[in-house]
Amino acid sequence: MINLDYSEHPVLDVRFVNDDLFELVLDRNGLEFAPGDCAAIYTTDEKSRPYSIASGSSEDDLRFVIRRMAGGEVSPWLAARKPGDSIRITPPFGWFRPGQGIGEAPFVFIATGTGIAPFLSYINTFDRPPEACLYGVRREADAIGLPQLAESCPTTLAVSREHTEHLHGRVTALLDRLPLDERTHYYGCGLESMVNEVSGWLLERGIAPRRIHREVFFHG
Ligand SMILES: Cc1cc2nc3c(=O)[nH]c(=O)nc-3n(C[C@H](O)[C@H](O)[C@H](O)COP(=O)(O)OP(=O)(O)OC[C@H]3O[C@@H](n4cnc5c(N)ncnc54)[C@H](O)[C@@H]3O)c2cc1C
């Protein structure tokens, strides 16, 4: 086994948002991280997957928002944890740094599904808000942290698999609402197809590649 400085974190809660989505709440146990960081979470039989931290870097809790994938090796195991269990994770890692290291430049967030996690971590850590947040989910009940996001910045939700008061369709249908200017930084996180489509759309409109920041959770 690679010798990493793993840490153990007691489970404080597993909060189901709906049948598929849950928040895994761990004792932070002094872990240091920057918004955008992931940690690989281990099962007791040494399976691991990376998950993006959703809590703020000064909060006592360490939170993740996780989709339980049917037949998956790790996410169903995590969904079955109980308060008092202990979970082993790697030191936080990552290069996706929403809103950070860009001085006073404006920035926007674009997420699908659990790809909202690093943006929630940003909002839970920093006061300077993004110019806008576009958030795509399958069902309205999958939208995590919506009131908090809406309080922080103009937030638009796209719901693809049911008709609601929000836009019906994919989040990429909302791209015309993005502020387009050469100073803005664009952060896309979630499904690979969305991240690619957003990147291509921005590049076609002359946005410099260094202002387009990408984090892919799921391929397809
Ligand atoms: C950098 C990074 C950060 C991540 N952060 C998060 C996070 O914050 N929250 C989160 O929920 N996940 C996150 N993921 C995804 C996570 O790491 C796992 O891939 C996911 O939880 C599935 O793992 P599993 O072991 O349960 O399923 P697996 O055993 O890996 O796969 C289960 C089944 O699901 C299928 N599958 C895979 N992708 C999809 C898809 N998009 N749609 C339908 N079926 C699919 C597989 O083909 C397989 O049949 C992140 C991934 C990366 C790379």
Which atom from ligand 1 is nearest to the alpha carbon of 69?
26
Q: Is 25 in the pocket of ligand 1 (CB under 6 A)?
A: no
For position 133, what pLDDT does the model report? 97
> Residue ranges of the domains in the chain?
7-89, 107-218
For position 30, what pLDDT does the model report? 93
- H helices of 61-100, where? 75-79
Please name which of 176, 41, 189, 35 lies closest in space to residue 113, comparing C-alpha atoms.
Answer: 189
For position 5, what pLDDT does the model report? 84
Q: Is 112 in the pocket of ligand 1 (CB under 6 A)?
A: no
Are the C-beta atoms of 131 and 98 separated by less than 8 Å? no
Q: Is 66 in the pocket of ligand 1 (CB under 6 A)?
A: yes
For position 3, what pLDDT does the model report? 54
Which atom from ligand 1 is nearest to the alpha carbon of 77?
26
Please name which of 211, 215, 133 lies closest in space to residue 171, comparing C-alpha atoms.
Answer: 133
The Å distance, Cα 69 to ligand 1 centre, comes to 7
Write the CATH number of the domain with boundaries 107-218: 3.40.50.80
Q: Which fold has domain 7-89?
A: Elongation Factor Tu (Ef-tu); domain 3 (2.40.30)
The Å distance, Cα 76 to ligand 1 centre, comes to 11
* Atom 15 of ligand 1, nearest CA residue: 217
For position 220, what pLDDT does the model report? 78
How many CB atoms neighbour CB 173 within 10 A? 14
Q: What's the alpha-carbon Rg for the chain, to the nearest Å?
A: 17
Tens digit of each residue's pLDDT (9 = 90 or more) over 75-101: 999 999 999 999 999 999 999 999 999
Q: Is 218 in the pocket of ligand 1 (CB under 6 A)?
A: yes
Q: Is 206 in the pocket of ligand 1 (CB under 6 A)?
A: no
The Å distance, Cα 79 to ligand 1 centre, comes to 13
Give yes or no on whether 7-89 and 107-218 have one common fold: no
Q: What pTM, to 2 d.p., does this model score? A: 0.95
* Atom 50 of ligand 1, nearest CA residue: 217
Please name which of 99, 97, 84 lies closest in space to residue 129, comparing C-alpha atoms.
Answer: 99
- Low-confidence residues of the chain, pLDDT below 70? 1-4
* Atom 33 of ligand 1, nearest CA residue: 72
Write down how long the chain is. Answer: 220
β-partners of residue 16 are 22
Instruction: Tokens 């099962």: give the residue.
Output: 43
Percent of the chain with pLDDT over 90: 95
Which atom from ligand 1 is nearest to the alpha carbon of 64?
8
